[in-house]
Amino acid sequence: MNSTMEQIKDFLIVGGPVVWILLGFSTIAVTIFFVKLWQLAMLRAESRKTVDKALDAWRARDIDGALAMLSDKRPVESIVAYSMDAMRQANREVATIREEAERRALNTLHDLRSFLRPLEIIGSLSPLLGLLGTVLGMITAFQQMEGAGAQVDPSVLSGGIWQALLTTAVGIAVAIPVVAMHAWLERKVERVAHNMNDAVTQVFTSKEGERLAAVAAREVLHAA
């Protein structure tokens, strides 16, 4: 255990500032990943069970029952609940309801995508930082070789090279899991967006939705 810790300390010392920056990047990435996991778990963002039951009640014209099942705190359920509640108000146009539902959905998805951009940036910058550290290390190694003149020690040169390559290895080691985490979380948000679009479309295209849309249209014409 002690030898492992000593090796890690040596790597951090040898790698220099670039390795420290990459270590900070990895800490930030892991923190973002677990925060997003907690957010998705608390919101139950991908759950369709309650939404499907509410849609069944909606088709059966049990509007109050459908709304009672849905929670405003969950992404898909909140948009579906708004659409159902707005549809039963005969004085509102369907096009307006659709636009407002879309606006709310985009805002919700924007919140779910928060902090995903930093993950993407970390995944892209880490290999570049590692390469920068390698280039700087190689420059230092060759400067030492030049300063030694004819008295070049191959061990000094090889040691400088492996120390330089260390930063590239660390950069790639940080980038691979970060890119994977970003892709996985992005896929989660895409599934939420799909579920949201599918459920809201069912609200508008069901027989109950068409009936309420017709009622709303008649009320608008009567008011005009």
pLDDT confidence of residue 102: 92
pLDDT confidence of residue 20: 86
Q: Where are the domains of the chain?
A: 2-124+175-223
Euclidean distance between CA atoms 88 and 20, whole angstroms: 58
Q: What string of pLDDT tens digits covers the 224 residues of the chain?
A: 556 656 666 666 666 788 889 999 999 999 999 999 999 988 888 888 899 999 988 888 888 898 999 988 899 999 999 998 888 876 677 888 889 999 999 999 999 999 999 999 999 999 999 888 888 877 777 777 666 666 656 666 666 677 778 888 889 999 999 999 999 999 999 999 999 999 998 888 876 656 666 655 555 445 54
Q: Are 116 and 186 in contact (CB under 8 A)?
A: yes
Euclidean distance between CA atoms 199 and 80, whole angstroms: 7
pLDDT confidence of residue 216: 55
pTM: 0.81
